[in-house]
Structure 1
Amino acid sequence: MHGSPRHRQLRSRTGSDSGSGTGGFSVRDSKQSSIMEKLVFLILSAVFRRKGLLLFAPLLYISMMLLYMGSLNFDVSISNLKTRVVSVSKRAPPGSLYRSPQVFEKLWPFMEAESRNSTTHALSTAWNSRVHNVWKPCINSSTVTELPKSNGFLIIEANGGLNQQRLSICDAVAVAGLLNASLVIPIFHLNSVWRDSSKFGDIFDEDFFIQALSKHVNIVRELPADVLQQYNNNISSIVNLRVKAWSSPMYYLHKVLPKLLQLRAVRIAPFSNRLAHGVPSDVQALRCLANFEALRFAESIRMLADLMVDRMIKKSSQSGGKYISVHLRFEEDMVAFSCCEYDGGEEEKHEMDLARERSWRGKFRRRGRVIRPGVNRVDGKCPLTPLEVGMMLRGMGFDNTSSIYVAAGKIYKAEKYMAPLRQMFPRLETKDTIATKEELAPFKALYLCWTCKDSQTR
């Protein structure tokens, strides 16, 4: 009788056993109680009712399993043994917080000791190639025949950063070959993040690009006058086909080709990631040809790059002229877009909110959009800080005598985040330490010019 749920429920209502040692289980309901405490109280109360037990049994089972596995990340404890008050507190899931500085602080003494006692340099074996297969050409030139008559002109707009633009160009070459279309030299989208007004010829060798593909895809610098006149000499008047991301070759043949034949010219903007990964071998061969043979940097970029490589080799004489090149992706836009949190507190959150609004104008404030920094970090979607890259390199065996060349844009709060990387690798170089201001000036001038124009139009 005393052990029945109905009797325990009656006792909890009358409060007759609240101070007895036989121990009824009660939950204090106060103004300071959290939502989770109330939820626990409601679930326990429901369990003690026969009808509620049947109703909530499955939910209770699932909840207890999640709590047991740590998925909900709540600590449940009895905070007061006398009154038996249940205390529920939320804890951060493992790996959801940025704790690399604390890890580095503990590991640094071991790194220093390892550097002093190191007898073999990691670079002595890192450059020993284990790949013995000979590189094969993308396309067998002996099978190439004369190009058939073009079905029309394809105009694409390569959006995103430099790497996305490169991928878009390679996909555009593949699609042009698939449709037997003449590809107009790709247009670069003026992105609000990078604010770079560079054209194709400013970055890539345009003449070489056309010549390298001449036997496979017809490339033209601009639309013929008669086609342009058909659209009132305005490219924007040409129909822009909205192609879904990762579209298949069959989609282009069934949907885009008929429009191309009908209109003589079509646009696809934006064009980033508009061709599926899995494509027939002949289409993939054109991608390969564009990426590995047709695309090369403009002469001015190649000359400066060769000069910087020679200087880096001389600076890395202690390691036999070999060095590590690291492309850090810890620019402000990358940090903002990732929606991850580091150790900058409220100031960092405010700066990232402003950066997201400035570059993506409301994209991250849309209804239903939930930003969960902890989940992003657990899922491995947070850009590595320079500190984390440095610890990774030290873990791979590179010591403080290794020469490091950092290829990156402007690092977010560089003074703070680059300091530990320089501490681990004193022989660290960047483009600003390898090249002179005069050598870099021509490449910065275009960016600065566009930035000034952009700020004036706001």
Structure 2
Amino acid sequence: MHGYSRLGGAARSPPSSPRFRHGRSKNSSWGSSKESNSMEKLVFILMSAVFRRRGLLLFAPLLYISGMLLYMGSFSFDVVSIKNGVVLVHKRAPPGSVYRSPQVFENLWPFMEAEAANANNGTVKTLMKAWTRKELTEWRPCANRSISETELPKSNGFLIIEANGGLNQQRLSICDAVAVAGLLNATLLIPIFHLNSVWRDSSNFGDIFDENFFIQSLGNHVHVVRELPDDILQRFDNNISNIVNLRVKGWSSSAHYLQKVLPQLLQMGAVRIAPFSNRLAQAAPSKIQGLRCFANFDALRFSKPIRTLAESMVDRMIKYSSQSGGKYVSVHLRFEEDMVAFSCCEYDGGEEEKHEMDIARERSWRGKFRRKHKIIKPGVNRVDGRCPLTPLEVCSYRFLCFLCWVF
């Protein structure tokens, strides 16, 4: 049964065709479709023009960047060679990524011999100019010795640090410890030397440096003691290891020490920071920076046995440097196993060298260089100038400096 229809008739009319369901007539629908096609063509033409222009604008900088990368040698291409009828494909290394100093030195050696011969004959004095002091290059002290406390205030507690690394890192740690002790108004315990896994040197502070001179020099700047008082030791069961070890991040600011370390020092009377290598930022207040500088150039002095040996070596160098009027050059090569291993650089030792460096890295840093996110790229390190100089490179560099080459 159907409802009432104003069109009359009882029969239900069939549904309209989908093509004409929304239009009133065939002609009107065709006209709408024609207009739609025209609009689509117009939009297509406009979009094509825009994309063509944008493609050109995008292609130009990409072409420029690609050209620069190719020019700078950032991409390496395969070099194909034929040997005994077999095609060999070699990967061309980017410029500066491979150790080739022996070849460079071989080409430089004739010039070095000629320069030395001419200098000995007196015809050319280029090498002798190396001893001439240039203007505005004299050394100036960084610490003002006149600035000192007439009377040091009461100490806030005791600071114990453990100097780790090699001798140079330990020296830097001592200077930073003096600066931090001055910042916190703390009494510094003579720094403890951590036994290095590479050098395995069991020397303590007094074996390397003049302990009495260190304490006396800092007398008007920072309190320094050889041992902790009995009451402090008893508080920690006579064991320094029981003193809380504050894990301070590398290159921490002065504000960090005042906000985080000082409250602990006031509360417990003694704090320990181990390891202490590079634990103070380079940027520091001028007074604290002055303490660091004073410790380095005034308070630290080698022990008597080391000074005696050094004086003997200097006298010998002056004696056997007659051709230069007793003048000589002292160079610390610093080409050591731990430095080479840490740099992740490759030289000319081949697979044997790689194997030895892998063992050295594992022995000293225990898996640090085997982590998933750690990607070792020796070629990139060399291009970036992060590889320690070999003795051969140091000699070549010094010779070029004598010839007034600019780097």
Q: TM-score range by the shorter chain?
A: 0.7 to 0.9
User: 1:133-170: CA deviations, max 9, x gaps?
Assistant: 78457235365321111100000011111111111111
Matched, 1:98 2:99: yes
Matched, 1:263 2:265: no
Aligned match of 1:149 = 154
**328, 337, 343: which is aligned to 2:333?**
328
Matched, 1:187 2:192: yes
Aligned match of 1:376 = 381
- Letter of the aligned partner of 1:111 in structure 2? M
Question: How is 1:40-119 mapped onto 2 (pairs within 5 angstroms)?
Answer: 64=66, 68-70=70-72, 72-75=74-77, 90-118=91-119, 119=124
Question: How is 1:427-438 mapped onto 2 (pairs within 5 angstroms)?
Answer: none
* Inter-partner Cα distance in structure 2 for 1:358 and 1:143: 45
Note the aligned Cα RMSD (angstroms): 2.9
Matched, 1:173 2:173: no
Aligned match of 1:352 = 357
Aligned match of 2:229 = 224
* Inter-partner Cα distance in structure 1 for 2:334 and 2:130: 27
Aligned partners of 1:176 and 1:217 also within 8 Å: yes
Displacement, 1:77? 9.6
Displacement, 1:124? 4.6
* Inter-partner Cα distance in structure 1 for 2:274 and 2:318: 42
* Change over 3 Å in CA distance of 1:147–1:272 after alignment to 2: same
Displacement, 1:100? 1.1
Tell me whether 115-124 or 188-197 shows the greater mean CA deviation.
115-124
Aligned match of 1:302 = 307
Question: How is 1:6-45 mapped onto 2 (pairs within 5 angstroms)?
Answer: none
3-state secondary structure, aligned to 2:351: helix
Aligned partners of 2:79 and 2:92 also within 8 Å: no
* Inter-partner Cα distance in structure 2 for 1:63 and 1:366: 33
* Inter-partner Cα distance in structure 2 for 1:337 and 1:194: 15
* Change over 3 Å in CA distance of 1:113–1:72 after alignment to 2: closer
Aligned partners of 2:69 and 2:75 also within 8 Å: yes
- Letter of the aligned partner of 2:387 in structure 1? C
Displacement, 1:76? 7.3
Aligned match of 2:257 = 252
* Inter-partner Cα distance in structure 2 for 1:266 and 1:330: 36
Aligned match of 2:208 = 203
- Give unmatched runs, 5+ long, in structure 1: 1-52, 80-86, 399-458
Q: Percent identity?
A: 68
3-state secondary structure, aligned to 1:74: coil
Displacement, 1:62? 9.1
Aligned match of 1:36 = none
* Inter-partner Cα distance in structure 1 for 2:389 and 2:400: 15
User: Please, what TM-score do these two structures have when normalized by structure 1?
Assistant: 0.68
* Change over 3 Å in CA distance of 1:73–1:150 after alignment to 2: same
3-state secondary structure, aligned to 2:330: strand
Displacement, 1:199? 0.4
* Change over 3 Å in CA distance of 1:94–1:228 after alignment to 2: same
3-state secondary structure, aligned to 1:172: helix
* Inter-partner Cα distance in structure 2 for 1:88 and 1:59: 32
Aligned match of 1:365 = 370
* Change over 3 Å in CA distance of 1:62–1:77 after alignment to 2: farther
Displacement, 1:123? 3.6
**164, 181, 201: which is aligned to 1:159?**
164
Question: How is 1:430-449 mapped onto 2 (pairs within 5 angstroms)?
Answer: none
* Inter-partner Cα distance in structure 2 for 1:76 and 1:330: 33
* Inter-partner Cα distance in structure 2 for 1:103 and 1:97: 12
User: 1:101-123: CA deviations, max 9, x gaps?
Assistant: 11222222233233323331524
* Inter-partner Cα distance in structure 2 for 1:337 and 1:279: 28
Aligned partners of 2:342 and 2:361 also within 8 Å: yes
Aligned partners of 1:174 and 1:283 also within 8 Å: yes
3-state secondary structure, aligned to 1:328: coil
Displacement, 1:395? 1.4
* Inter-partner Cα distance in structure 1 for 2:207 and 2:234: 27
Matched, 1:339 2:339: no
Displacement, 1:202? 0.4
3-state secondary structure, aligned to 1:272: coil
Aligned partners of 2:79 and 2:91 also within 8 Å: no
3-state secondary structure, aligned to 2:219: coil
Aligned match of 1:280 = 285
* Inter-partner Cα distance in structure 2 for 1:78 and 1:200: 59
* Change over 3 Å in CA distance of 1:67–1:175 after alignment to 2: closer
Displacement, 1:69? 4.2
User: 1:160-190: CA deviations, max 9, x gaps?
Assistant: 1111111111111111111110000000111
* Inter-partner Cα distance in structure 2 for 1:163 and 1:272: 10
* Change over 3 Å in CA distance of 1:88–1:239 after alignment to 2: same
- Letter of the aligned partner of 1:327 in structure 2? H
Displacement, 1:309? 0.4
Displacement, 1:226? 0.8
Matched, 1:212 2:214: no
Question: How is 1:232-251 mapped onto 2 (pairs within 5 angstroms)?
Answer: 232-251=237-256
- Letter of the aligned partner of 1:130 in structure 2? E
Aligned partners of 1:173 and 1:183 also within 8 Å: yes
- Letter of the aligned partner of 2:193 in structure 1? F
- Give unmatched runs, 5+ long, in structure 2: 1-54, 82-87
Aligned partners of 2:130 and 2:402 also within 8 Å: no
* Change over 3 Å in CA distance of 1:172–1:269 after alignment to 2: same
User: Please, what TM-score do these two structures have when normalized by structure 2?
Assistant: 0.76
* Inter-partner Cα distance in structure 2 for 1:272 and 1:325: 27
Displacement, 1:355? 1.7
